[in-house]
Amino acid sequence: MQGIAFGPTIRLLRQAKGISLREMARQLGVSPAFLSQIEAGRQHKIPKARIVQVAEMLGVSEGYLLGTAKQIHPDVIDFLSETPEAAEFMTTAIRSGLAAEDFTRLREMLEEKRARRGGRAAAARAAKKAAASEGLSDYLDPSLCLTSVGVQNKERLFQRFTKMVTKKNKPVSAEMLLARMEHRERQSPTSVGGGVAIPHAFVPTLDRPVIGVFLLKRAVQFGPTDDDRVKTVFFLVGKEGAPEHHLPLLARIARLCSTPEFLEVLGKARTSRELYRTVLGWDKRISS
């Protein structure tokens, strides 16, 4: 495991799952002190069987666990650890298929901030401040907040959303946006549990991120299991090459959707206006 962020990745994923260090150590049959050494990066000789066991506990594949550990730069670890939405971000990353290029973009963003602001500490503070200050009110489009949306399946849902987005954002190609959302979905279904999905994609020629929310009449299947049936869908379209907006917004949406009380109130919205106000009100409430 030498040379990759295996231990810190385990820690972030464990926290995202809400598992205490002591409980995970108990289930793995090791001491909390030994697991703490692994998470701190001081223990590198880990048997393959143990890696498989850890991955199963965290609800990810062995390949995902090792791949994520290789992709995450230490600066990204610092960013996630210092950001309030870190656990929600990692949960979303697990389920919604954030790929290597997403982590690379985040690393590049931090390096740029470090160069501009002078020093790692300043970059970390700037990244933390940016993540905390990116409210959904700046990007949630009222015309993309719809209730009682009737669609047959995920494909028709994506087609409807991309058509609406590109009608208002003329430079964006509907075909490209649809292709990129479908590509992300093939990597891993973007359902995050609780009847919620957060499909997202990067596209060029977009001035600023776009967020939409659909409440569906009937649940549609986003993945192979019953847990992947979805009635609440948050869409996020980010500008290619600008993860400093996209990734914190994704974390913020994930944080909202991990709040059962919010989902209960949101599900009762009967009009687009009510849906829009509910999202913004709870976003402000949770982030305050």
Q: What is the pLDDT of residues 33-73, one digit of tens each?
A: 999 988 888 877 788 888 889 888 887 778 777 777 776 66
Report the predicted TM-score, pTM, of the whole model to 2 decimal places.
0.70
Place of tokens 């596209």: 203
Q: Residue 2: what pLDDT?
A: 46
Report CA torsion sign: 7, 12, 18, 20.
positive
Low-confidence residues of the chain, pLDDT below 50? 1-2, 120, 123-132
Dist CA 270 CA 146 (whole Å) = 9
Dist CA 150 CA 268 (whole Å) = 16
Helices marked H in the chain: 6-17, 21-28, 32-39, 48-58, 62-71, 74-82, 86-96, 100-117, 120-133, 154-168, 174-187, 243-257, 260-266, 272-287
Taking the alpha carbons at both ends of the chain, their separation in whole angstroms is 39
Dist CA 20 CA 18 (whole Å) = 7
For the domain made up of 1-72, the CATH class stated in words is: mainly alpha
What are the residues facing 287 on neighbouring strands?
none
What dotted CATH number matches 132-287? 3.40.930.10
What are the sequence ranges of the domains in the chain? 1-72, 132-287
CA nearest to 6, candidates 33, 32, 38 = 38
Q: Tell me, what DSSP letter sits at residue 236?
A: E
- Structure tokens belonging to residue 181: 């959302």
Q: Residue 123: what pLDDT?
A: 47
Residue pair 75/110 in contact (Cβ under 8 Å)? The answer is yes
Place of tokens 């965290």: 58
Q: Residue 281: what pLDDT?
A: 95
